[in-house]
Amino acid sequence: MNEQQRKEQAQIKQVDAADRKSGQEKPLSEKTSADFAKYFETTYEPPNLNKARKRGRDKVNVHYDFAIPEDMERIGEGKKFLIRTYGCQMNEHDTEVMAGILTEMGYESTSDTNEADIILLNTCAIRENAENKVFGEIGHLKPLKLEKPDLILGVCGCMSQEESVVNRILKKHQHVDLIFGTHNIHRLPHLVKEAMFGKEKIVEVWSKEGDVIENLPKARKGKIKAWVNIMYGCDKFCTYCIVPMTRGKERSRRPEDIVQEVRHLAAQGYQEVTLLGQNVNAYGKDFDDITYGLGDLMNDIHKIDIPRVRFTTSHPRDFDDRLIEVLAKGGNLLDHIHLPVQSGSSEILKKMNRKYTREEYLELVRKIREAMPNATLTTDIIVGFPNETEEQFEETMTLVEEVGFEAAYTFIYSPREGTPAARKKDDVPEEVKKKRLYRLNELVNKQSAESMKTYQYQKVKVLVEGESKKDPDVLAGYTEKNKLVNFKGPKSAIGSIVEVEITEAKTWSLNGVMVENTVEVN
C-alpha cells in the first residue's frame, strides 16, 4: 500500500473530535549516554533491549484507584491542549487517554498550535521516517516556544523509550520541557505540574513496564467506533522490531474489565469496537490464575449487543484453533483478519525471528478459510530485509498470490537502532529494494482491484462514519470487510449502519447509492 492509497483510506472527516552551563562538567555536545543516565534514575535504568530479552515474569498488579490530584483538578481551566499522534492504533488510543486526563484537568482540546498551552507529540519508533517527522516538528515548534515561554512542549510515546532519542532531545532541542514514555501515561497530571512549576526539564521514562492501570479517562474520537486496549507489550522479539523495548513485556487486562468497557460502549451507542494489542493473539497467556485467551474473550464479547467487533494486530504464531472456532460463529465478530506475514520466505522469516515458516503460515490460512470461506485477509510485508535474495523475494510474491491478500501495508526495511537486524551488513542495493517494492505494490493493487470488482452491483452494509474529506456532500464509511465506501445520503445516516448498492469499484474504494431503509442490527 503506497502513500496515495493510504490517503484514500483516510478520507473520512469525523464529525466529533478531541552551551556549557554552570555546574556542568562538560558541554552538552561532549556528553555520552552515561551522562544522561541520571534522567532514568527513577525509572530503574535506561531502556535496554538486551536486558529486555532476559526479562522475567514479574507479577503485574492491576490498579483501580486512578484520580486527578486535587490540586490539579481545575489547573487547565481557560487553557488548551493539542496532541499530535504518530504511528499505530495503540498510539491513537494512548492519545485518547491523555486527552481524557487533560480534559478532566480543565483543559480544552484545540487543533491550532498558536492557541495551545500544552503541545504533546505522541511518537512512533517503528520506522525511521516517523522519527524524522517528529524531529522536524520539534524544530518547527521552537519559534512558538520562544514566543510563548509558558507553553509546555512535550515528547511522549515510543520514541521517548529509546535512550538515544532522549539524549538527542536533551542535547539539541532544549526547548522541549517534558519527556515521558509509554508506561507512565497515568502520571501525566504530576508531570504537567512539575513542568508548570519546576525550573528543570522533566524527563521521566520508565524502562520497567509497571502495572495495569484501569479507570483512566478517555476522550474518544467520535461516538461511532472505539478502541479497546486488551493488553500491552510484546514478547516476540522480531529482529527488526523495537516494540518489545518501547512497549515492554506482554501483560493482559482482566477479562471482566474489558467486557465491562465494551458493554459500556454498547450502552453509549457505539457501533464498532476494535480490540487492541501489539500482539493481540497473546492475550491471556500471562495469566497464572485462569486459562483464558483471545478466543474466550471474543466469545464473551460475541454475546454483547454491539454490531461490530474487530481486533488487531495478530501474530500468526499465536493464532490458535480456539480463536478460529469462535470467529466462525460470525454475528458481530467480523471475518476481516489482518495477519502480518512480513515475508514469504522461510529463511527470511527465520532471520526475522518470526517463529513460523512459510508452510505454517499457509496452513493457518487454510484453517481460517476452511472455517470462514468468505474471510478477507490483509497483511504487512517488509521488502529488502538485510541480504534478501531475488529468490527469497519471489517467494513473497508467490505467497501473496496464493493467499490472495486484498490489501497489504508494504515497506522497505528500515533499520532501528538497538535491534539485532540493524547490526547486519546488507548487500542489497537500495535501487533493487525500490524495484521490489514497486513490483509488490503492483501485485497487491491488482489483487485489491480484482476483489473490489466482486462488489459491483452488490448491496453491502456500511457503517457511516462521516463526510468525505473530498466532498462534504458525500458520506463515507466501511463495510464489514473493511472496504471504504463513498455514497450520497442524508447526514442523519452518520453513525448508523446502512445498506448501499455499489455502482463503481475502484482499486481501494467503492462508490454506491444508499438503499432507502437503514439496516437494523440486533
DSSP 372: -
Does the annotation flag 238 for ligand binding? yes
Residues 47 and 207 sit within 8 Å (Cβ to Cβ): yes
- Sign of the dihedral defined by the CA atoms of residues 104, 107, 112, 116, in that order: negative
- Please name the helix (run of DSSP H) or strand (run of DSSP E) that holds residue 114, with its range, or none: none
Dihedral Cα 310, 87, 158, 174, nearest 10 deg: -150
Length of the chain: 522
Task: Enumerate helices (H) and strands (E) in the chain, giving the number of each.
Answer: 16, 22
Nearest by Cα to 254 from 215, 295, 212:
212
Nearest by Cα to 443 from 386, 382, 399, 509:
399
Q: Which amino acid is at 10?
A: A
d(CA 393, CA 348): 9
Across-strand partners of 118? 81, 152
d(CA 517, CA 459): 12
Does the annotation flag 156 for ligand binding? no
232 dihedral zone (left: phi>0; alpha: psi -120 to 50; beta): beta
Does the annotation flag 158 for ligand binding? yes
d(CA 237, CA 50): 10
d(CA 110, CA 113): 8
DSSP 253: P
Q: What is the CA 386 to chain-centroid distance, rounded?
A: 25
d(CA 114, CA 140): 12
Across-strand partners of 478? 463, 484
- Please name the helix (run of DSSP H) or strand (run of DSSP E) that holds residue 512, with its range, or none: strand 509-518
- Please name the helix (run of DSSP H) or strand (run of DSSP E) that holds residue 80, with its range, or none: strand 80-85
What would the DSSP string read from start to end of 414-469?
Answer: ---TTSGGGGS---S-HHHHHHHHHHHHHHHHHHHHHHHHTTTT-EEEEEEEEEES
- Residue ranges of the annotated binding site for [4Fe-4S] cluster are 88, 124, 158, 234, 238, 241
- Residue ranges of the annotated binding site are 88, 124, 158, 234, 238, 241
